[in-house]
Homo-oligomer: A and B are copies of this chain.
Amino acid sequence: MAERIGFIGLGIMGKPMSLHLLKTGYPVVVHDLNRPAVDELVAAGATDGGSPRAVAEQTDIVITMLPDSPEVRQVILGPDGVIEGVRAGQAVVDMSTISPITSREVAQALAVKSVTALDAPVSGGQKGAVEATLSIMVGGPSATFERVLPVFQAMGKNIVHIGEEPGSGQVTKTCNQIVVGITIMAVAEALTLARKAGVDVAKVRQALLGGFAQSRILDLHGQRIIDRNFAPGFRIKLHQKDLGIAMASGKAYGVPLLTTGLVHEVLGSLVAQGHQDLDHSGIARFVESLAGLED
């Protein structure tokens, strides 16, 4: 018999992810504070759990997909939370992007009840969630990873078990967001210099893609910058949140992150200017405005 899945958090990511689990044939029990999202999943065949605690009581594997660390702590460890409904042998899988420190706290608290935790943040955005092509970076015990792998495979493609240590998946996601954010900044500075020097920016992108400067960011976001296409995609406010996690992680683990900090502040400036809902390739707008260019 298929494992029963609990799914808490039916936002722009969680909704298509839980729909894929239903389509694959899993019994799914859902919860969200947003009533219409719950109704939509129930119409598609899910059960309304009613509370995080009740979701845990009715399922074998509980998945959470929430905005940030405080929501994960509240839903799993808070009153009427998942931890009040679990029993030994269950697995709790947090697929939110949160602080690795919080992931470790959650894992420790659940271990007391003989429940194993995985942290399994994703990349690939709304498009990846809808198309079931998410990359999933997983931290936690190998046995639990193997058990949950078929569930991951219903939602994603590039699924990597990073390590046994709780939080390993979150650390990897943080590293991903550091590299992506800084690389966008690199491409933005280079293409803005080319533009103000009167050089064909598309030719510069093309030439650079043939050598050491090649990256997916130069390819995709370089093209976005040339096309002035800043429709999300991945929103600036979310990348700002993720680099906030990076800075807190740097502090916790003793790694000064000079460049990450700079890009975090750039994202903060874009939010302050009202650009929070642009795609993160909109970092180019910041560099351009410093150089006196209007969009």
Name A residues whose Cβ lies closer than 8 Å to a Cβ of B. Answer: 100, 123-124, 135, 137, 139, 158, 160, 162-163, 165, 167-168, 171-172, 174-176, 178-183, 185-187, 189-194, 196-200, 203-204, 206-208, 210-218, 220, 246, 249-250, 253-260, 262-263, 266, 287, 290-292
Contact = CB atoms under 8 A, between A and B. Distances in A.
Contacts of A206: 160
Contact of A258 (B139, B218, B262): B262
A137 B207 contact: yes
Contacts of A162: 199-200, 203-204, 207
Given A171-B204, A211-B124, A262-B262, A186 B196 contact: no
Contacts of A249: 193, 197
Main secondary structure of the interface of A (DSSP, over half): helix
Contacts of A182: 182-183, 185-186, 189, 259
Given A179-B190, A182-B189, A186-B182, A253 B196 contact: yes
B255 A212 contact: no
A215 B176 CA distance: 12
A210 to B, nearest CB: 4
Nearest to A246: B193
B178 A193 contact: yes
A263 B165 CA distance: 33
Contacts of A253: 193, 196-197
A172 B212 contact: no
Nearest to A221: B212
A196 B256 CA distance: 11
B189 A171 contact: no
A192 B255 contact: yes
A193 B255 contact: yes
Given A176-B212, A196-B255, 19 more contacts: A158-B211, A165-B198, A168-B199, A168-B200, A171-B193, A172-B199, A172-B208, A174-B190, A174-B193, A178-B193, A179-B183, A179-B187, A179-B215, A182-B189, A182-B259, A189-B255, A189-B258, A193-B253, A214-B216
Contacts of A212: 123, 176, 180, 216-217, 220
Q: Which 9 A-B pairs have the closest CB atoms?
A: A215-B215, A182-B186, A175-B190, A179-B213, A158-B210, A160-B207, A196-B253, A255-B291, A178-B190
9 contacts: A100-B197, A171-B194, A171-B197, A172-B208, A178-B189, A178-B193, A179-B218, A189-B255, A256-B290
